[in-house]
Structure 1
Amino acid sequence: MNVMAKAEKKISSAFIYFFGSFGGILFGYDIGVMTGALPFLQADWHLENAASLVGWITSAVMFGAIFGGALAGQLSDKFGRRKMILMSAIVFVVFSVLSGVSPDMGEASAYYLIIVRMLLGLAVGAASALVPAYMSEMAPAKARGRLSGLNQTMIVSGMLLSYVVDFLLKDLPGEWAWRLMLGLAAVPALILFLGVLRLPESPRFLLRKGDEAQARKVLSYIRKNPAEIDQELASIKETAKEERQANQKTSWSSLFSGKYRYLVIAGVGVAAFQQFQGANAIFYYIPLIVQKATGQAASSNLMWPIVQGVILVVGSLVYMWIADKFNRRTLLMVGGAVMGLSFILPAVINWMMPNMNPMTIVVFLCIYVAFYSFTWAPLTWVLVGEIFPLAIRGRASGLASSFNWIGSWLVGLIFPIMTASMPQEAVFAIFGIICILGVIFVKTCVPETRGHTLEEIEEQGTNHGRVKASNPEN
């Protein structure tokens, strides 16, 4: 027992935060990997004219993630964050390998891959829910904003890694290229599993299970002095007590009561707009977008995803620098406005100048990604983490996550169907209009949360509900 204690004592806070957030790499890798694999898969299985099947293969992971996040949240309350992250890594390894060894059985192959990727999506959704929860419970309050930025950086780094892997494998025979691209997702999942084996359980979960001694021990790894540990233990106990009382008094219908409706609509709306604005259409289909614009084979355009990945990583670092310097609403409105114009202007230019350079649309997509990367991408989850009152936080956060994944799934599914039936510029113009609607939504329906305590934010929502109740015509 003493030997184990000494071994645990050597765990550094840097190791805990690195592997605690490493699940973001898996999340990002699987978002990005199909970008490069899809052109080879289409050619190998002759799916060039099967827009619906292509949409389902691409979006199947997001469909599974809708359920994976909710399921993992429930199970982690019973079994712990650490164990569920380990289980997610195992599921990720198994179904990544099964994706890579998909049998070649004609059209039946596509249905096999769709089912396997749906099951893989359970692990992706679980990682998206578990990693922020684990990190928020391990991080000191003063570092939570910065560590939220670390999680976003891990996600976009995973996307960039997948783009680089796709590029390096592009010269292999087509039937091998896409299989290795998908199968190699098992490697970061295996690294995550080995790293998490050494991670401790979160002190909040340990206290909930009545193991105060182990919770104190875990906090000793990541807090500097005993007084800080005592204060945090007391705070966790008090919060857990409040949450138990809140959960007993609320139900799903409480989310849309007059008292909470304003903040629930604000948080869920921002989470939904983030995906319906069309970002994932770029991340999943950029080689096919370039192919349609220029006529060059999609498999020869795998440098463009790397460009997008670099922009995303740089943007995540920019966000960490500016996060506490500007209001949340300001960043979301400026970002959304530029994103909307980046989608709408190519359609306007093409209408006015039908012979415009086909690469113009790609340049505007890069501008879109740049502004998305340091505004809507990270700020959505910062705002969702801040805006929901304690009494409904669990249910409201789950609802926001579900709407986000539903949006991600629908964009991945319908984009190839839309581009098969109308000009690419028109499709992006539709997404551009949604971006502008998102700006209007933020301006009219979302309160400012920067610099406000959670209690002050809750009071804003409560007061807004009272005003609406007393002035229904408003």
Structure 2
Amino acid sequence: MNVMAKAEKKISSAFIYFFGSFGGILFGYDIGVMTGALPFLQADWHLENAASLVGWITSAVMFGAIFGGALAGQLSDKFGRRKMILMSAIVFVVFSVLSGVSPDMGEASAYYLIIVRMLLGLAVGAASALVPAYMSEMAPAKARGRLSGLNQTMIVSGMLLSYVVDFLLKDLPGEWAWRLMLGLAAVPALILFLGVLRLPESPRFLLRKGDEAQARKVLSYIRKNPAEIDQELASIKETAKEERQANQKTSWSTLFSGKYRYLVIAGVGVAAFQQFQGANAIFYYIPLIVQKATGQAASSNLMWPIVQGVILVVGSLVYMWIADKFNRRTLLMVGGAVMGLSFTLPAVINWMMPNMNPMTIVVFLCIYVAFYSFTWAPLTWVLVGEIFPLAIRGRASGLASSFNWIGSWLVGLIFPIMTASMPQEAVFAIFGIICILGVIFVKTCVPETRGHTLEEIEEQGTNHGRVKASNPEN
């Protein structure tokens, strides 16, 4: 026991924050890897004219993630954030390898890969739910936006890594290229597993389970001021005491009770809008988008994903610089407005100028990605990590993650079908309208959380529920 304690004392806050957010690498790698693998897979398995099958192969991970997010969120309330992240890494290793060794059995191969990628999605969805919750519970209120933004930096770094790997492997024989692209996802998963082995559990989870001594020890790793530790412990204990006094047993129906409804709708709504706005249509299909615009083969357009990846990484760094300088709502509304215009203007320009340069749409997509990268992309996960009260955080984070993945799955599934039946400009204009609806949702339904402790945010939601209850006409 003493040896273990001494080992734990060596854990630095930088190590905790780095590996606490490293799960985003897995999330990002598997979002991005199919972008480069798909053209080779299509050619190898002769799927060029099978839009629905291509959509299912691409979106299968997101379909599995719908359930992985909800399941991991619920189990993390029972077993802890750390243990569930470890389990997710193991699942990720196994099914990444199985994706890379898919048998070549004609059409049956596609169904095998769809099933394996659905199971892989369980781990991806779990990571998307667990990492923001863990990071928000470890980070101090004044730096929570910036540190939680590490998750987004990890996600987009994982995407960029997958794009670079795709580009480096593109000259291999087609049947080898896509297999290695998919199978190499096991490497960051193994790194995550080894790193998380040394991570401590969340202090809020420990205190909820009655282990105050260990919770204090963990806080001592990441808080420099003893008075700050005492104040934070007291605040968490007060919240836990109120929960015990109420003898509350949380269930899915609890999430939408009067006390929590406002915050749950806000968090889940932002998570859903992030995906229905269509960002992943770009990330999954940019080579095919460029192919349709220019006529060049998709497999020769693998530099474009790297361009998008660089924009995403730079944007995530910009966000970490401005995260705690601007209100969350302001960034979401400004970003959503520009994103909406970036999607709708190509359709307007094409209507006014039918001979528009086909690459114009790609330029506007880059503008969209730039603003998405430092607004909706990171802030969604920051809000999901900080807006839900402790009593329901695991379930609510899982629900938000699941709605996020429902949007991601549907976009991945229907985009190739939509572009096969209508002009690309019209498809993106539809997503642009959804972006504007997202701005309206943020303005009317989302509270400001910057600079507030998690307990203050909970009180804000509780007070809103009381106001609604006493003024039902509002």
TM-score (norm 2): 0.92
CA contact (8 A) 2:202 2:215 kept: yes
The change in CA–CA distance for 1:448 and 1:220 in structure 2 (over 3 A counts) is: closer
Q: Report SS of the residue matched to 1:473.
A: coil
What CA deviation, in whole Å up to 9, does each residue of 1:245-300 have, x standing for no partner? 56716654454455554443333222211110100000100001101111101111
Greater shift after overlay, 349-358 or 455-464? Answer: 455-464
CA contact (8 A) 2:384 2:397 kept: yes
Supply the distance in 1 between the matched residues of 2:82 and 2:388 (Cα, whole angstroms).
25
1:253-264 correspondence runs (5 A): 253-257=253-257, 260-264=260-264
The change in CA–CA distance for 1:212 and 1:255 in structure 2 (over 3 A counts) is: closer
Unpaired segments ≥5 residues, structure 1:
none
> What displacement does 1:73 show?
1.9
RMSD of equivalent CA atoms: 2.4
Supply the distance in 1 between the matched residues of 2:304 and 2:178 (Cα, whole angstroms).
17
> What displacement does 1:382 show?
2.7
> What displacement does 1:74 show?
2.2
> What displacement does 1:439 show?
1.8
The change in CA–CA distance for 1:452 and 1:207 in structure 2 (over 3 A counts) is: closer
Q: Alignment length, in residue pairs? A: 474
Q: Report SS of the residue matched to 2:247.
A: helix
> What displacement does 1:14 show?
1.4
Greater shift after overlay, 286-295 or 387-396? Answer: 387-396
CA contact (8 A) 1:93 1:189 kept: yes
The change in CA–CA distance for 1:320 and 1:110 in structure 2 (over 3 A counts) is: same
Residue 460 (1) aligns with residue 463 (2)? no
State the partner residue of 2:278: 278
The change in CA–CA distance for 1:390 and 1:184 in structure 2 (over 3 A counts) is: closer
CA contact (8 A) 1:247 1:392 kept: no
The change in CA–CA distance for 1:261 and 1:90 in structure 2 (over 3 A counts) is: closer
The change in CA–CA distance for 1:107 and 1:433 in structure 2 (over 3 A counts) is: same
1:228-239 correspondence runs (5 A): 228-239=228-239
Supply the distance in 2 between the matched residues of 1:448 and 1:362 (Cα, whole angstroms).
34
CA contact (8 A) 1:243 1:390 kept: no
The change in CA–CA distance for 1:211 and 1:160 in structure 2 (over 3 A counts) is: same
Q: Report SS of the residue matched to 2:324.
A: coil
The change in CA–CA distance for 1:290 and 1:243 in structure 2 (over 3 A counts) is: farther
> What displacement does 1:320 show?
1.5
What CA deviation, in whole Å up to 9, does each residue of 1:52-80 have, x standing for no partner? 11111111111111111121122223332
State the partner residue of 1:295: 295
CA contact (8 A) 2:239 2:455 kept: no
The change in CA–CA distance for 1:166 and 1:386 in structure 2 (over 3 A counts) is: same
Percentage identity across aligned positions? 100
Greater shift after overlay, 299-308 or 350-359? Answer: 350-359
What CA deviation, in whole Å up to 9, does each residue of 1:105-139 have, x standing for no partner? 00000000000001101111111112222222333
Greater shift after overlay, 233-242 or 145-154? Answer: 233-242
What CA deviation, in whole Å up to 9, does each residue of 1:278-329 have, x standing for no partner? 0000010000110111110111101111111111111111112222332322
State the partner residue of 1:6: 6
Unpaired segments ≥5 residues, structure 2:
none
The change in CA–CA distance for 1:183 and 1:217 in structure 2 (over 3 A counts) is: same
Q: Report SS of the residue matched to 1:248.
A: coil
Greater shift after overlay, 432-441 or 418-427? Answer: 432-441
The change in CA–CA distance for 1:56 and 1:256 in structure 2 (over 3 A counts) is: same
Greater shift after overlay, 452-461 or 432-441? Answer: 452-461
> What displacement does 1:234 show?
3.6
TM-score (norm 1): 0.92
The change in CA–CA distance for 1:258 and 1:117 in structure 2 (over 3 A counts) is: same
Greater shift after overlay, 70-79 or 284-293? Answer: 70-79
Q: Which has the higher contact order (CA 8 A, sep 6+)?
A: 2
Greater shift after overlay, 462-471 or 357-366? Answer: 462-471
Supply the distance in 2 between the matched residues of 1:35 and 1:409 (Cα, whole angstroms).
15
The change in CA–CA distance for 1:246 and 1:182 in structure 2 (over 3 A counts) is: farther
The change in CA–CA distance for 1:395 and 1:86 in structure 2 (over 3 A counts) is: closer
What CA deviation, in whole Å up to 9, does each residue of 1:384-406 have, x standing for no partner? 34444556544443332221111
Q: Report SS of the residue matched to 1:296.
A: coil
The change in CA–CA distance for 1:137 and 1:357 in structure 2 (over 3 A counts) is: same
The change in CA–CA distance for 1:158 and 1:260 in structure 2 (over 3 A counts) is: same
